[in-house]
Amino acid sequence: MDVFRLLGAGAKFDKKRFREDVEIFHAPMNDTGAPTSEGTLADGISPELDFFHANNEGPTNSQEDRDTKRRKVENQASNEKGISEIRKTEVEPYVPFKTQEEANIFRKQNRIRTYGTDVPHPLRSFSELLTRFKLRSYLQRNLSDSGYDAPTPIQMQSIPIMLHHREIMGCAPTGSGKTLAYVLPILHDLKGPAKEGIRAAIICPTRELATQIFREMKKLSKGKPFKICVLTKLSNSSDNEQISASFASFDVLISTPLRLVHAIQHQGLKLDKLKHLVLDEADKLLELGFLEQIDEVLASCKDEGVYKSLFSATIPSGVEALAKTFMKDPIRVVIGQKNAATETITQRLLYVGQEEGKLLAIRQLIQQGLKPPVLIFVQSIERAKELFHELVYDGINVDVMHSDRTKLQRDTIVQNFRSGKIWVLIATELMARGIDFKGVNLVINYDFPQSVASYIHRIGRTGRAGRGGEAVTYFTKEDAPYLKNVVNVMKDSGCDVPEWMLTMKNPSKNVKKNLKRKPVARDAIKTVSKFDEKKAKKKREMVEASKKRKQRTESKPKASDEATDT
pLDDT tens for each residue of 386-416: 999 999 888 789 999 988 888 889 889 988 9
Cα separation, 423 vs 426, whole angstroms: 10
* CA dist., res. 293 & res. 308, Å (int): 16
- In angstroms, the Cα distances linking 492 to 167, 332, 341, 344 are 28, 20, 8, 13
List Cβ neighbours of 553 (8 Å cut-off, separation of 6 or more): none
The maximal CA–CA distance of the chain, rounded, in angstroms, is 168
**Percentage, residues of the chain above pLDDT 90:** 43
- What is the CATH code for 84-335? 3.40.50.300
| Exposure on the CB side of residue 277, measured as CA atoms within 13 A | 26
3-state secondary structure 139-176: HHHHHHHCCCCCCCHHHHHHHHHHHCCCCEEEECCCCC
Nearest residue to 274 (alpha-carbon basis) of 351, 350, 197: 197
Superfamily of domain 345-517, CATH level 4 = P-loop containing nucleotide triphosphate hydrolases (3.40.50.300)
* Domain ranges (residues) in the chain: 3-49, 84-335, 345-517, 531-560
pLDDT, greater one: 560 or 258: 258
DSSP string, 435-451: ---TT--EEEESS--SS
Side-by-side strand order, sheet with 442-445? 345-353, 469-476, 442-445, 374-377, 424-427, 398-401
264-302 per-position pLDDT tens digit: 998 889 999 999 999 999 988 998 778 899 999 999 987
SS3 content of the chain, % helix, strand, coil (to 5): 45, 15, 40
Average pLDDT over residues 470-498: 89
Query: What stretches of 267-309 show up as alpha helix (H) in DSSP?
Result: 282-285, 288-300
pLDDT band at residue 62 using 50, 70 and 90 as cut-offs:
very low
Residue 348's contacts (CB-CB under 8 Å, 6 or more residues apart) are 470, 471, 472, 473
- Pick 196 or 348 by higher pLDDT: 348
For residue 504, the model assigns a pLDDT of 85
**Would you give the end-to-end CA distance of the chain in angstroms?**
168
Residue 388 has a pLDDT of 94
**Residues 6 or more apart whose Cβ sits within 8 Å of residue 105:** none
Domains 84-335 and 345-517 share a fold: yes
Three-state DSSP state, 354: coil
171 closest CA partner among 356, 276, 316: 316
Which of 169-183, 212-226, 390-404, 520-534 has the weakest average pLDDT?
520-534
Q: How far apart are CA 202 and CA 256, in angstroms?
A: 9
